[in-house]
Structure 1
Amino acid sequence: MTAWLTRISPDLRHPAARRDLRDITAVHRRVMSLVPDDLGDQARHQAGVLFRLDHTTTGPVLLVQTTMAPDPARLPDSYGTVQTRDITPLLNALTTGMSVHYRIAANASKRAWKGDNAGKVVALSGPHAEQWWQRKADTHGLTLRHMHTQPQPAAVGRATPVRHAITLFEGQAFISNPDQARAAILSGIGRGRSFGCGLLSLAPAP
């Protein structure tokens, strides 16, 4: 499977960029504009679209992963700085025992089975979120070595009511199952994948 990663640094002077960053549903629409319009009801799945909004010291950075070649020309003029690279070589290079750095902004959550929230999906935090990520990593081809967690601003939709709690997990791991790890990169992990959750980034570690 071929995949591309597009890094967008929105220009906060651009009115469309400012509007998008206030509404995760607007970010979703902007991200989907990078792929063709005629993909049907499962367009995000068909194009393998995942994204993550990283909050950096120099401003927000939007990372968009697709399994179709993206078309940055469909972004508004002067929307921001855009860089795209083919990450297929990284996917192919994953091997058992390989040491990697990882980063994922995920919706750590579970469905409650008792109490006032019975039947509802509830967000996890602190040690419960860490345990959630440990379980997910184990079943997606990663053996964690180090973990750092940090709560992130929630993904909030204004035009469409959406709210997903987000925790950033990053650290080092070993690849225990390359096929599972590749599938996790391409498909994402956890809930909220249409709205900026679940994109797993890996990079070789020394």
Structure 2
Amino acid sequence: MYLSRMFLNPQRRGTRKLLASPEAMHAAVLSAFPPNSDLVSHDGRVLWRVDREAHSLALYVVSPEKPSFEHLQQQAGWENQVSWAIREYEPVLGSISVGKRFRFRLAANPVKSVRDPQTGKSKRLAHVTAAQQRNWLLERAEVMGVRFLPTEFSHADSHDTSNDDLAVSVTGREVVKFRRQGRMVTIARAQFDGAIEVADAERFRRVLTNGIGKAKGYGCGLLTVAPMTSKSD
């Protein structure tokens, strides 16, 4: 597995075109791999996410095969400067163990299944408020193999902390609409930042390499981590 980061030039017309359509960005990401590439394998799948900071715009990609971003450089990068870095993901995945703590960022598509009383069929509805989206993530702690840490890390060994005191924040929210195969697609995307402790190393590795939630092809599901060196970090 590989983890890549490419800084995009926000002044380029190509960048603005990609940001306007998850379908276009999805195609650009897949173009970083030859046609015979394994985009989904037993090790993981291709995931991507765009992070918008005050002074930077970064595309993150996790993939089973090593990508090549020359085409994105021409379309959305800088003319005379390479702005991407690719590293093997195994050192990070191999370092994960129960009890290890991380800062994390996740972009996800929080949805719920609701059964139509008239037809009996289930349909997906997006969680629309920040509180609903945050609860969606907190409810997935066991599936992710993590424990969300309290805001005050001096009490990080307490297991009876209420959800309101957990270090999980919705730091970005947007509704993206685009056309796909002649129909309108709507994705409610939320960005989460916070702190976690690994409770099940295998489940956590699976989330890092396979993502979580729906709309993984459209910039959702990718969770990235940075190690915490101390409880007060």
- Which residue, out of 84, 87, 107, partners 2:86? 84
2:177 is aligned with 1:156: yes
Give the fraction of aligned pairs with identical amino acids, expressed as a percent. Answer: 24
Residues 129 and 15 from structure 1, CA distance in 2 versus in 1: closer, same or farther, beyond 3 angstroms?
closer
Q: Quote the offset at 1:28 in angstroms.
A: 0.3
Residues 129 and 79 from structure 1, CA distance in 2 versus in 1: closer, same or farther, beyond 3 angstroms?
closer
| Partner residue in 2 for 1:195 | 218
Q: CA RMSD in A?
A: 2.2
- State the one-letter code of the partner of 1:131: N
CA distance in 1, matches of 2:204, 2:12: 37
CA distance in 2, matches of 1:8, 1:22: 18
Secondary structure (helix, strand or coil) at the match of 1:132 reads: helix
Q: Which structure's CA Rg is the greater one?
A: 2
2:72 is aligned with 1:75: yes
Secondary structure (helix, strand or coil) at the match of 2:173 reads: strand
The answer as to whether partners of 2:116 and 2:123 remain within 8 angstroms in 1 is no
Bigger CA drift: 107-116 or 21-30? 107-116
- Which residue, out of 9, 19, 22, partners 2:20? 22
| TM-score, length of structure 1 as denominator length | 0.88
- Which residue, out of 122, 137, 141, partners 2:141? 137
1:101-151 deviation digits (Å, cap 9, x = unpaired): 111011111111257997321111333222211122221111001111134
| Partner residue in 2 for 1:121 | 124
1:5-31 deviation digits (Å, cap 9, x = unpaired): 211221233332221111110000011
| Partner residue in 1 for 2:55 | 58
Residues 60 and 163 from structure 1, CA distance in 2 versus in 1: closer, same or farther, beyond 3 angstroms?
farther
Q: Quote the offset at 1:202 in angstroms.
A: 1.5
Q: Quote the offset at 1:76 in angstroms.
A: 4.6
CA distance in 1, matches of 2:40, 2:207: 14
| Partner residue in 2 for 1:45 | 40
Q: Quote the offset at 1:34 in angstroms.
A: 1.0
Secondary structure (helix, strand or coil) at the match of 2:135 reads: helix
| Partner residue in 2 for 1:96 | 98
Query: Which aligned runs of 4 or more in structure 1 are off by greater than 6 angstroms?
Result: 115-118
Residues 78 and 123 from structure 1, CA distance in 2 versus in 1: closer, same or farther, beyond 3 angstroms?
closer
Unaligned runs of 5+ in 1: none
Secondary structure (helix, strand or coil) at the match of 2:40 reads: helix
Secondary structure (helix, strand or coil) at the match of 2:93 reads: helix
CA distance in 1, matches of 2:174, 2:30: 22
Secondary structure (helix, strand or coil) at the match of 2:122 reads: coil
1:16-73 deviation digits (Å, cap 9, x = unpaired): 222111111000001111111134xxx6424721001111101422111111011123
The answer as to whether partners of 1:51 and 1:199 remain within 8 angstroms in 2 is yes
| TM-score, length of structure 2 as denominator length | 0.78
- State the one-letter code of the partner of 2:212: I
Unaligned runs of 5+ in 2: 78-82, 150-166
